[in-house]
Amino acid sequence: MSKDTMTSRERWLAVLNREKPDRIPMDYWATEEATRNLCAHLECDFDEACTRLHIDRRLTVGGKYVGPPLAEETNVFGIKTRLVDYGAGRYAESVNAPLARYNSVVEIEAHYTWPSPDWWDYSHLPETVKGNEDCIVQGGLSEPMLTYKRLRGEAQAFMDLHVNSDIVHYCLGKLFALAYQDALRIFETIPGVVSITYVAEDLGGQEGLLYSPEHIREFFLPGMKRMMDLTRQHGSFVFTHSDGAVRDIIPDLIDIGMQVLNPVQWVCPGMEREGLKRDFGDRIVFHGAMDNQRTLPFGTIDDVRREVLDNIRILGAGGGYILAPCHNIQSITPPENIVAMYETAYAASSAV
């Protein structure tokens, strides 16, 4: 018998508002290859797979690009990519760095054209959300350092924090401003509809922070706070993605407005679930926590089931948890483990 007495949207909002849902909401993140494998295993399409596994899908909305024509395999920033096959999946990797050759802000201003917010149209959004009232709607995205590293090249971007801080401030300012306008135009086009806004930056690595706390506070947090303020002013929840060991910067993120932390990579130092729940569980919602490095790809079905139950017991104690994988499920993950994850969580809904 179905335990569902709420729609997916109602279920998400109950957790986000620190109310009791009918069961744990369950989100889905995966590569195209992993999704194809899952659908082949279940012998159905993705919509049917989500229904059978009780996945609470998000509807992600955004502007439609109407700007100048783009060269093949090139994005609005002039970053060219090519698909690289790693044997278990294909990924679009950058093959150029449009701003790498410049040594000053003056040079960039003279030779580079930043995308304009007017290159996107939002008039289709009311029609997009029509008929999807049962889904939680996600709109708006900010992750400027990810783009900056592609514009400058990975190594140069890290060195810039020390030797070209003016370039970093200038470029991140442009990128934050573009993201701000994008989110604002989404909010204004479909007022009151968007419930989740993605204000992200990968601040952590496998063992610790990728940047010093001082650099995070100087370069990232002011722009992130402005995005978070805008998000909360329009009634949307701030969903912050940061992989890795980010424990040391979580208090700062909470102080500037973070409401949901993803992906809770608890295998990293300092990210133990018990400590996160104890120290921050009364202020933020946790999203993710299903280990995508060991348990899902390499664990047994019983390992997956144990981890689901542990996450619900620890992170879901008293509410405040949305179950999902720690980033995209990869193609090497057995479909049986994916099914076990969602079936176990659904069966354990009485533990919410």
How do the domains of the chain map onto residue ranges? Answer: 8-351
* pLDDT single digits (tens) 258-281: 999 999 999 999 999 999 999 999
Mean pLDDT within 309-323: 97
Closest to 326 measured CA to CA, from 117, 105, 28? 28
Task: Determine how β-strand 64-65 pairs with β-strand 81-85.
Answer: unpaired
Whether 129 shows a pLDDT value over 90: the answer reads yes
Band (351; pLDDT cuts 50, 70, 90): very low
Closest to 352 measured CA to CA, from 22, 90, 16? 22
Residue with tokens 């009791």: 20
Closest to 297 measured CA to CA, from 24, 33, 26, 25? 33
Q: In angstroms, rounded to a whole number, what is the distance separating the alpha carbons of residues 339 and 346?
A: 11
Two structure tokens written together for 123? 């008039």
Sign of dihedral through CA atoms 312, 134, 17, 178? positive
Whether 254 shows a pLDDT value over 50: the answer reads yes
Q: How does DSSP assign 199-245, residue by residue?
A: E----B-SSSBSS-HHHIIIIIHHHHHHHHHHHHHTT-EEEEE--S-
Is residue 306 packed enough to be buried (19+ CB in 10 Å), middle (13-18) or exposed (0-12)? middle
State residue 350's pLDDT score. 52
* pLDDT single digits (tens) 147-156: 999 999 999 9
| Whole-number average pLDDT of the chain | 96
Whether 1 shows a pLDDT value over 50: the answer reads no
| Architecture of domain 8-351 in this structure | Alpha-Beta Barrel (3.20)
